[in-house]
Amino acid sequence: MTDFLAEAQSLFEYTQSLRRDFHMHPELGFKEVRTAGIVARELTSLGLEVHTCIAETGVVALLEGAKSGPVILARFDMDALPILEETSVPYTSQNPGVMHACGHDGHTAIGLTVTKMLLAHRQELAGTVKFIFQPAEEGLGGAEGMIAAGVLENPKPDLALALHLWNEKPLGWFVIAAGPATAGAELFKIKVRGKGGHGAMPHLNADPVLAAAEIVTALQSIVARNVPPLQAAVVSVCTIHGGEAFNVIPQTVELAGTIRTFEPEVREKVLERFKVIVYGLAETMGCQAEVDLQRLAPAVINQPESAAHIAEVARRIFPDAAIDTGDYVTMGSEDFAFIMEKVPGCFFFIGSANKEKGLDASHHHPRFDFDEQALPRGAALMASTVAELLRDKSRKI
């Protein structure tokens, strides 16, 4: 059996230099022109047929095994975040205000490493690997764009896989959950419209500040009183804007925030209660509310069989690793869920924090950085999983 961990470790400098280069030149969603250019250049140099500009900046390459068989999609995201980097590493962002603060630089480097390794083992593969390098994962619609551009057709994948470096857990740790892995997310905006006027004469006005305050408080009753205690949900009001002067009741107040859920029935219940509370309270307070709800991503629910397979591979490659197969889920969301709505698969996490080296800031933090030893680990786990699935005739995908 191929030792993909040894191969990934021998490619460490390749992976690390790509990762550091992407880190120094981060690009926001749908603007990953330089990153996608490097991805396309690397894939082309390997001799693969490469398709570029899919959903603006996405790149797709097919790796056909020596024999026919199932099609596995492996997805890697490429976008950075609008954050001013505060690390002092030599590969710090050269693009002020834009930062790879989620590890997608590592994912892209891992993706290229996996491609290189699997290509070297093409003769042993019975099936096809569809590599997709995706733009705009951070809430901008990259996965939906790639789907609309047809990446799930010609050939149609039988299984979809993706990984995420995970600084919430240390290096040496994996989570490969059979079932829910990341939450479904909605973005909401509320406009509470009242009747502005003199702050000293509230009885002549309809105060949207007070109505907004009531709404913020009452929204917390949804999780406390409408969601079954053993099921999870989050309702967070994250911005509140209204008013200009200390003695003027404003005309409108605007709120924005996010809702997170897993089960469709919980999501439905939360959204229903959300609207009843917002409209009802605004009306009670003599105001009117407008609600704008946008779905950012569904929940990622892993297929139990592929999760079990990946966990088995991980246990073999990393006998000392802590492998969590289900007790850990994150309320964070992931747009790979749009792909997983159409293709069964698994989204798994590679622990990447190292407290001793000071590499343990959370994702989306201005000092985020991870232990690069996680790169070969992620590449080895992805490559081994795919190779085994395309080799083992007895295993049904």
CA distance 27 to 272: 37
Query: CB of 317: closest distance to Ni ion in angstroms?
Result: 23
Q: In the complex with Ni ion, which residue's Cβ is closer, 193 or 363?
A: 363
Region of 49-57, 98-106, 277-285, 305-313 interacting with Ni ion (CB under 5 A): 98-106
Are the C-beta atoms of 116 and 46 separated by less than 8 Å?
yes
CA gap 19, 25 in Å, rounded: 10
E-state strands within the chain: 50-54, 58-64, 67-77, 126-134, 159-170, 173-175, 180-182, 184-193, 197-198, 233-242, 248-249, 252-261, 288-297, 300-301, 322-324, 345-353
Report residue 61 as tokens. Answer: 């390459």
Which lies closer to Ni ion via its Cβ, residue 105 or residue 324? 105
- In the bound complex, what is the minimum distance in angstroms from residue 10's beta carbon to Ni ion? 27
Which one of 67-75, 96-104, 187-195, 212-220 is the stretch in contact with Ni ion (CB under 5 A)?
Answer: 96-104
Q: Distance between alpha carbon 80 and the CA centroid of its chain, in Å?
A: 12
Q: Which of 42, 56, 77, 79 is the catalytic position?
A: 79
The question of whether 214 is a catalytic residue gets the answer no
- CB nearer to Ni ion: pick between 191 and 363: 363
Cα 194-197-199 angle, rounded to 5 deg: 110
Q: What span, in angstroms and rounded, lies between the C-alpha atoms of 382 and 4?
A: 9
Closest distance of CB 8 from Ni ion, Å: 21
Segment near Ni ion (CB under 5 A); pick from 99-107, 143-151, 274-282, 340-348: 99-107
Closer of 114 and 215 to Ni ion (Cβ): 114
CA distance 125 to 130: 13
79 is catalytic: yes
- DSSP summary character for residue 71: E
Please, which residue, 102 or 136, has the CB nearer to Ni ion? 102
Identify which of residues 222 and 300 has a Cβ nearer to Ni ion in the complex. 300
Distance CA 237, CA 272 (A): 17
Cβ proximity to Ni ion, 139 vs 286, nearer residue: 139
Residue 102 sits in the site that holds Ni ion (CB under 5 A)? yes
What residues does 294 pair with on adjacent strands?
187
List Cα–Cα distances, 89 to 86, 176, 310, 367, 376, in angstroms.
9, 31, 33, 10, 20
- A 10 A CB-CB count for 69 gives 18
Amino acid at 397: I
Does residue number 110 form part of the binding site for Ni ion (CB under 5 A)?
A: no
Annotated catalytic residue within 27, 32, 85, 137: 137
Phi, psi of 121 (to 5 degrees): -115, 25
Q: Are 278 and 215 in contact (CB under 8 A)?
A: yes
Closest distance to Ni ion from the beta carbon of 332 (Å): 8
259 touches Ni ion by CB under 5 A: no
Q: Which stretch binds Ni ion (CB under 5 A): 35-43, 95-103, 123-131, 300-308?
A: 95-103
Shortest Å, Cβ 130 to Ni ion: 21
- Residue 38 has which token pair? 């490097």
User: Cβ-count burial of 21 within 10 angstroms (0-12 exposed, 13-18 middle, 19+ buried)?
Assistant: middle
In whole angstroms, the minimum distance from the beta carbon of 338 to Ni ion comes to 14
Rounded to a whole number of angstroms, the minimum distance from the CB of residue 137 to Ni ion is 6
From the list 85-93, 94-102, 287-295, 320-328, the region that binds Ni ion by CB under 5 A is: 94-102
* Count, residues near Ni ion per rule CB under 5 A: 1
Nearer to Ni ion by C-beta: 15 or 252? 15
Closest-approach residue to Ni ion (CB): 102
Question: What is the C-alpha to C-alpha distance for residues 362 and 133, in angstroms, rounded to an integer?
Answer: 24
Write down the least CB distance from residue 117 to Ni ion, Å. 23
Site string for Ni ion, 116-155 (x = CB under 5 A): ----------------------------------------
The contact set with Ni ion (CB under 5 A) reads 102
Catalytic residues: 79, 137
